A and B are shown apart, each in its own frame.
With several copies, the nearest count.
Chain A
Amino acid sequence: MDTPSLDLEHVKRILEAALLTSQEPLALPELKQLFDEELSNDALCRMLEELRGDWRGRGVELVHVASGWRFRARPEYQRFIERLTPIKPPRYSRAVMETLAIIAYKQPVTRGDIEEIRGVTVSTNIIRALEERGWIDVVGHREVPGRPALYATTKTFLDDLNVRSLDELPPLDDLGSLVETAGAPPVAETPKPPVAEEPEPQPQPVEEMRRAASA
């Protein structure tokens, strides 16, 4: 850290890259995870403000919303960008898709169940968006403190996906052989002998599911 100005520049580049690639707003605690060194909230906020300044006058701006910081297109550019949309249909963010997948495959579930599986908080917006779309609804409440709502998918959901029942959704069990174990080190540059160093890893979770399912 002999040239702090350069380091700060690097920190800003990392922040920018992370914010530009994230599908969801990023809150300060998440942004801190980006760095090895401990960054104070103050320093981070200063950097974000600086970054916001850098983007002034561009078609995209850095904004601070309830759940954190995100880049978004300025409304004035909307009309230009909209001209492209007939070609590229929009897509839901990963958070929405995962929430939907959990509700579809594990229904009926509470928001807590979804959070338990996803490992992160599920924003009200996501649930509301899916409800407004008519794809999920509340089918009851779990009788625990707080009586959380139990969500399930609707007929509209099945119709929109063009299936008649949940059974027709893609089976998940056969994904097993196609993927390597998550978090496995990248396949090492293999030497000539035909057997890769790392034993072909069997994806554990799917296996577990299969066992659980057949148990």
Chain B
Amino acid sequence: MSEIAVAPIAKVYGQPVLEVPQDLYIPPDALEVFLEQFEGPLDLLLYLIRKENTDVLDIPMSKLTGQYLEYVEMMRTRSLELAAEYLLMAAMLIEIKSRMLLPRPAIEGLEADPRAELVRRLLEYERMKLAAQRLNELPQAGRDFSLVHVLFDETAAGRLPDVNAADLRMAWLALLTRAAVNRHHRITREQLSVREHMSRILRRLQEARYIEFKELFKPEHGIAVLVVTFLALLELARESLVELTQQAAYGSLYVKLKTGHLAAVE
């Protein structure tokens, strides 16, 4: 297995991974990283075939099936999420292997080779996989080159830009991407409905200086809204945006805008 010098197939924690799994000690974590890299059973099979410099057109079925099952077993014991496709492929390999053992009528020629369909699929997948790599290497607008954006004052023409929900999502994605660069900016996302209700409560408190706690909760809105409103209130309190006060034990709770020293001076 190891007589051929193989280029590193993966780098894990900076260490090249050459052979998996027998010939090299690989920390269990690294193995998981390695196993998770396969895009599916075809990808794994191609790896096994390419690793040994096997001719795709003449696959040694019993060896390949053995190796494949070994990997699948490894994934299973590590309780990696094992997609059904892997098991389906295992069944297919075993079937092909057993059909290989049967004598084949020579006349039928190519079609009779039980491996034909598998080989077709492997080659087709590999072709697309390589195409994907090349496509990814092409310079992409925004990623590898910039587009020109000279200001043209369109608002002068009275037209307002359109925004849709997907734009918003893209903008957020851009922020996340940057947040990954600037580690100190932690962006978290609570349930949006909570934030919406935080705004709603603040709006109400603009109108009334304080609100009785229970006024915020309308049972007719349903339990989900009650819970969300409650969470919103807790969050507002945590962010020191509102104050919850109670005059006496078991008395009414009041919610009011937090007023700081500055407000007191005014």
Residues of A bordering B, CB below 8 Å: 17, 19-23, 60, 70-75, 77-78, 81-82, 85-95, 97-98, 100-102, 104-108, 116-121, 132-133, 139-140, 142-145, 147, 150, 152-153, 159-163, 165-170, 172-173, 175, 178-184, 187, 189-200, 203-206, 208-209, 212-213
Residues of A within 8 A of B132 (CB): 94, 97-98, 100-101
Taking a contact as CB atoms closer than 8 A, the residue among B34, B131, B259, B262 that contacts A170 in the complex is B131
Give the chain A neighbours of B130 by CB distance below 8 A: 172-173
Is there contact, CB below 8 Å, between A169 and B177? no
Q: Which of B164, B176, B198 contacts A107 (CB 8 A)?
A: B198
Contacts A116-B185, A175-B176 hold; do A90 and B133 have CB atoms under 8 A apart? no
Q: Decide: A90 near B160, CB < 8 A? Known: A75-B144, A150-B241.
A: yes
Does B263 sit at the interface, judged by CB under 8 A?
yes
Taking a contact as CB atoms under 8 Å apart, the answer to whether B37 and A200 are in contact is: yes
Question: Are A195 and B116 interface neighbours, CB within 8 A?
Answer: yes
Establish whether residues A100 and B163, one from each chain, have CB atoms under 8 Å apart when the complex forms: yes
- Are A161 and B176 in touch, CB under 8 angstroms? no
Total A-B Cβ pairs within 8 A:
412
Task: Report the Cα distance A197→B253, complex, angstroms.
Answer: 60
Indicate which residue in A21, A107, A190 contacts B152 across the interface (CB closer than 8 Å): A21
Check B119–A182 contact: CB distance below 8 A: no
Cβ contact within 8 Å between A94 and B177: no
Contact A209 B189 (CB under 8 A): yes
CA A89 – CA B175 in complex, angstroms? 10
Contact, CB under 8 Å: A187 / B55: yes
Nearest-Cβ distance from residue B56 to partner chain A, whole angstroms: 6
Q: Assess whether A162 is in contact with B131, with CB atoms less than 8 Å apart.
A: no
| Chain A residues within 8 Å of B123, by CB | 175, 178, 195
Judging by beta carbons under 8 Å apart, are B152 and A162 in contact? no
A116 to chain B, nearest CB (A): 7
Contact check, B127 vs A173: say whether CB atoms are below 8 A apart.
Answer: yes
Choice from A21, A184, A194, A197 contacting B147 with Cβ under 8 Å: A21
Residues of B within 8 A of A197 (CB): 8, 10-11
Q: How far is the CB of A19 from chain B (nearest CB, A)?
A: 8
| Chain B: interface residue total (CB-CB under 8 A) | 123
Contact assessment for A205 and B187 in the assembled complex, using a CB-CB cutoff below 8 Å: yes
Q: Are A193 and B58 in contact (CB under 8 A)?
A: yes
B193 at the interface (CB under 8 A from A): yes
Q: Are B115 and A190 in contact (CB under 8 A)?
A: no
- Enumerate chain A residues within 8 angstroms of B11, measured Cβ to Cβ: 197-199
The residue that B260 contacts in the complex, of A82, A97, A147, A172, with Cβ under 8 A, is A147
Which residues from B are CB-within-8-Å of A72? 141, 145-148, 150-153
Alpha-carbon separation in the docked complex, A176 to B182 (Å):
18
CA distance A171 to B128 in the complex (A): 11
A105 to B164, CA, bound (A): 14
Closest CB in chain A relative to B51 CB, distance in Å: 6
Specify which of A161, A166, A203 is in contact with B196 (CB 8 Å cutoff): A166
Q: Assuming A140-B206, A182-B177, A205-B177, is B135 touching A97 (CB within 8 A)? A: yes
B203: chain A residues at CB < 8 Å are: 139, 152
State whether the Cβ of B169 lies closer than 8 Å to any Cβ in chain A: yes
Q: Does A97 contact B166, Cβ atoms closer than 8 Å?
A: no
CB distance from A23 to the nearest CB of B (A): 5
Determine if B128 and A21 form an interchain contact, defined as CB atoms under 8 angstroms apart: no
User: CB within 8 A of A132: which of B34, B50, B166?
Assistant: B166
Task: Please measure, in the bound complex, the distance between the C-alpha atom of A22 and the C-alpha atom of B146, giving whole angstroms.
Answer: 9
- Whether B234 sits at the interface, judged by CB under 8 Å, is no
| Smallest CB separation, A61 vs chain B (Å) | 10
A59 to B70, alpha carbons, bound, how many Å?
54
User: Which residues of the other chain, B, contact A172 by a CB distance below 8 angstroms?
Assistant: 127, 130-131, 169, 172-173, 176, 189
CB B9 to nearest CB in A, in angstroms, measures 5
Q: What are 28 of the A-B contact pairs (CB < 8 Å)?
A: A75-B144, A85-B157, A87-B181, A89-B142, A90-B155, A90-B177, A98-B172, A102-B175, A105-B172, A105-B192, A108-B195, A120-B40, A152-B198, A153-B199, A166-B196, A167-B192, A170-B138, A172-B176, A179-B56, A181-B180, A187-B133, A190-B58, A191-B110, A195-B38, A197-B11, A199-B12, A212-B186, A213-B188
